[in-house]
């Protein structure tokens, strides 16, 4: 069956990359645009786990799918740097333009209700933390951040979607794209399978669609390569331990190299006074974290991840990460694994009685107390223990025996699609953007790649030249001068 309407542009995925692609096209052209997503509208994205305390396996997952994407139900931390969560300078080969893109993304969020204040420490405070980290052999990366909050992100996303619809963008929801090829997209809604014709396609499937994109790309001959993945745990500590640093940076970034393997480990997605949440993928479970502006816990959580790159003969990091997650899911009996750091150090599993002795009350209860060392590779476990002990020299208490670890947390940015300066793939008129294409790793970078892909189409249409999008000025200075 062929869909009745024909479109100039079909965007696969309604996450930050897809929404911002649509935004740019709607603002700068009269092209007919459709956005397809397997999930629902932002107002219908309610995870039952918030009420039940455990995951019931919704298909598709409300956290991963729907308008707003995985970022739409996240804590809404906007990292205002082009080299955190991706590398816009590498994509654009223009550092000033990469900072301009960060500013443009931020302005759109502000227009649609993001809070005006940003997290930025005083220069003396930043220097103090940089010095303290350096003395411990750790790198602290100061960053300006805007925090929307999980409880307010929906309103911002709704405002963006409403605006796009007012500009004529059509949203086709609860519809799963089976495959795509030049000029058409094959989609399924319930039992109906239909083809949508389009002159251009932007593929922006997000983290939840990374494996699907990997499979379709191989099938149709899109050139790509396997990039690294990040494997680790979600760490939960009393909020007071990290209070000094989270007042300066809502989501502080620390980069560490471990003693035994000299592997790269980093903190990611910190949630002050936040909550650990479960995520369900196809065949396995994982964990993540949220924080809200109005609802608070007594804990702070953050991801602690080690970078894994594979070389020949086994290069498929996606398959490797999936196998780790499936093993962890088996060990946890279909639930995430929870363990005290002290138990992990001593080589014993955690039990509920041991966890109850901890100073930290877990914010996620739908877990199996167990032994993370039974699920994650030895090298990863070693990196986690050594990395936390290094971080403890910067933030005392973070490597306490009572610290809670949830596993697995795996970030797939595995298949990096080959694109040109316009973000056009090796198949003409098919563009890529966002996390699912391996081009970003956070909300701002995903949104910025969405702008770039849309601009690629506008250039191909002859409506603009590439240089028309670049504005004069020192954009790094503009971003860094934002008011706290």
Tens-place pLDDT, residues 102-145? 999 999 999 999 999 898 888 899 999 999 999 999 999 999 99
Q: Please give the full DSSP string across 134-188, using - where no structure is assigned.
A: HHTTEEEE---EEE--HHHHHHHHHHHHHHHHHTT-EEE-S-EEEEEETTEEEEE
Residue 57 — pLDDT band, cuts 50, 70, 90? confident
Please provide the average confidence, as pLDDT, over all residues in the chain: 93
Residue 339, pLDDT > 90, answer yes
pLDDT higher at 302 or 72: 302
What was the pLDDT predicted at 122? 84
What was the pLDDT predicted at 414? 56
Distance of CA 307 to the CA centre of its chain: 15
What pTM, to 2 d.p., does this model score?
0.87
Residue 16, pLDDT > 60, answer yes
Residue 2, pLDDT > 70, answer no
Largest CA distance in the chain: 67
- How does pLDDT run across 217-234, given as a tens digit for each residue? 989 999 988 888 899 999
Question: Would you give the DSSP letter of residue 312?
Answer: T
pLDDT higher at 74 or 408: 408
Single out the residue of 245, 230, 217 nearest to residue 425, CA to CA: 217
Residue 85, pLDDT > 80, answer yes
- Identify the three-state secondary structure at position 444: helix
Distance of CA 68 to the CA centre of its chain: 12
What was the pLDDT predicted at 58? 84
| Least confident segment among 39-43, 45-49, 242-246, 454-458 | 45-49
What was the pLDDT predicted at 78? 92
Residue 479 — pLDDT band, cuts 50, 70, 90? very high
What was the pLDDT predicted at 285? 92
Token pair, residue 150, equals 């999980």
- Identify the three-state secondary structure at position 268: strand
What was the pLDDT predicted at 311? 80
| Least confident segment among 225-234, 245-254, 277-286 | 277-286
Question: Counting beta carbons within 10 angstroms of the beta carbon of residue 470, is it exposed (0 to 12), middle (13 to 18) or buried (19 or more)?
Answer: middle
| Least confident segment among 94-103, 118-127, 373-382 | 118-127
The CATH superfamily of 7-114+148-226+416-480 is FAD/NAD(P)-binding domain (3.50.50.60)
Q: Is the peptide bond before 482 cis (omega within 30 degrees of 0)?
A: no
What was the pLDDT predicted at 1? 63
Question: Does residue 419 come out as left (phi exceeding 0), alpha (psi in the -120 to 50 range) or beta?
Answer: beta
Residue ranges per structural domain of the chain: 7-114+148-226+416-480, 229-412
Q: Are 167 and 26 in contact (CB under 8 A)?
A: yes
Residues 167-170: contacts with CB under 8 Å, at least 24 apart: 167/26, 167/27, 168/26, 168/32, 168/33, 169/22, 169/25, 169/26, 169/33, 169/34, 169/35, 170/5, 170/7, 170/32, 170/33, 170/34, 170/35
Residue 179 — pLDDT band, cuts 50, 70, 90? very high
Element spanning 125, H or E = helix 123-135
Q: Please give the full DSSP string across 232-256, using - where no structure is assigned.
A: EEEEEEEHHHHHHHHTT-SS-EEEE
For residues 381 and 373, what is the distance between their CA atoms, to the nearest angstrom?
A: 6
- Mention every residue, 6+ apart, whose C-beta is less than 8 A from residue 472: none
- Mention every residue, 6+ apart, whose C-beta is less than 8 A from residue 74: 150, 153, 269, 288, 290, 443
Single out the residue of 59, 55, 70, 60 nearest to residue 16, CA to CA: 70
Question: Would you give the DSSP letter of residue 442?
Answer: S
Residue 53 — pLDDT band, cuts 50, 70, 90? low
């Amino acid at each position: 069956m062929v869909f009745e309407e024909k479109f100039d542009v079909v965007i696969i995925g309604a996450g930050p990359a897809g929404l911002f692609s649509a935004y740019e096209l709607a603002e700068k052209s009269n092209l007919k645009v459709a956005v397809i997503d397997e999930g629902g509208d932002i107002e219908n994205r309610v995870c039952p786990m918030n009420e039940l305390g455990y995951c019931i396996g919704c298909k598709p997952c409300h956290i991963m799918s729907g308008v707003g994407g995985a970022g739409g139900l996240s804590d809404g931390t906007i990292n205002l740097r082009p080299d955190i969560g991706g590398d816009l300078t590498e994509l654009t080969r223009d550092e000033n333009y990469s900072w301009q893109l960060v500013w443009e993304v931020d302005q759109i969020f502000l227009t649609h209700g993001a809070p005006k204040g940003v997290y930025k420490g005083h220069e003396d405070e930043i220097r103090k933390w940089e010095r303290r980290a350096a003395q411990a052999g750790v790198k602290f990366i100061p960053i300006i951040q805007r925090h929307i909050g999980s409880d307010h992100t929906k309103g911002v996303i709704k405002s963006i979607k409403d605006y796009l619809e007012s500009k004529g963008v059509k949203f086709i929801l609860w519809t799963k794209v089976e495959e795509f090829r030049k000029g058409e997209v094959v989609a399924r809604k319930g039992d109906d399978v239909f083809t949508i014709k389009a002159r251009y396609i932007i593929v922006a499937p997000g983290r939840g669609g990374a494996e699907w994109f990997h499979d379709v790309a191989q099938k149709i001959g899109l050139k790509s390569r396997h990039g690294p993945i990040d494997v680790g745990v979600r760490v939960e500590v009393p909020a007071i331990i990290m209070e000094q640093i989270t007042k300066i940076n809502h989501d502080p970034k620390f980069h560490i190299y471990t003693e035994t393997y000299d592997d790269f480990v980093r903190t990611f997605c910190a949630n002050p006074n936040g909550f650990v949440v479960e995520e369900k993928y196809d065949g396995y479970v994982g964990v993540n974290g949220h924080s809200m502006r109005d609802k608070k816990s007594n804990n702070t959580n953050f991801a602690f991840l080690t970078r894994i790159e594979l070389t020949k003969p086994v290069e498929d990091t996606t398959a490797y990460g999936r196998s780790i997650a499936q093993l962890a899911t088996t060990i946890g009996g279909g639930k995430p694994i929870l363990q005290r750091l002290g138990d992990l150090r001593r080589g014993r599993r955690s039990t509920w009685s041991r966890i109850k002795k901890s100073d930290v009350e877990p914010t996620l209860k739908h877990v199996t107390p167990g032994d993370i060392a039974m699920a994650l590779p030895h090298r990863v476990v070693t990196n986690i223990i050594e990395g936390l002990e290094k971080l403890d020299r910067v933030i005392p208490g973070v490597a306490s025996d009572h610290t809670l670890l949830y596993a697995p947390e795996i970030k797939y940015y595995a298949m990096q699609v080959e694109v040109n300066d316009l973000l056009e793939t090796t198949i003409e008129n098919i563009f890529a953007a966002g996390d699912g294409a391996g081009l970003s790793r956070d909300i701002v970078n995903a949104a910025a790649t969405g702008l770039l892909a849309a601009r690629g189409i506008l250039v191909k249409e002859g409506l603009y030249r590439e240089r028309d999008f670049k504005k004069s000025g020192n954009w790094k200075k503009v971003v860094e001068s934002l008011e706290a």
